[in-house]
Amino acid sequence: QVQLVESGGGSGQPGGSLRLSCEYSGSIYDFYALAWFRQAPEKEREGVSCISGTDGSTYYADSVRGRFTIYRDDNKNTVYLQMNNLNPEDTAVYYCALGRDFGLQDGPVLAARSYDYWGQGTQVTVSS
């Protein structure tokens, strides 16, 4: 069983920064990828960013590219999402997800169906 636990959400101001963390544990696939998704009220879940557990390659949604950075610490089994230059449109519940590595998934790398395990979510609110 795989477990994912997010932390680091909270409130931020426009132009500010927050960092999310997700610690994962359990029977991880030999070749896996980690991702961050978000869901705002009355909107569909959106893929934000993902990273390969094999070679560290990354993908970003257009809406966050250049502002957000995903990275992982294998020693801590943790994936991070550094969010800079926040804006109110970033307000959402952010979810960490784990699935098979890029090229082994059933769908696009930032599609929810490509991931099998999910965290409980952490709220991020950006307002002045």
Is there a contact between 92 and 124 (Cβ–Cβ < 8 Å)? yes
Q: Which of 89, 76, 97 is closest to 3 using CA atoms?
A: 97
Is there a contact between 86 and 38 (Cβ–Cβ < 8 Å)? no
pLDDT at 27: 85
What is the longest distance spanned by two Cα atoms in the chain? 43
Provide CB contacts within 8 A for 74, sequence distance 6+: none
Is there a contact between 39 and 46 (Cβ–Cβ < 8 Å)? yes
Mean pLDDT by 10 residues, the chain (128 residues): 94 97 92 96 96 94 97 96 98 97 86 95 96
pLDDT, one tens digit per residue, over 38-51 is 999 999 999 999 99
Q: Which two tokens stand for residue 98?
A: 């784990």
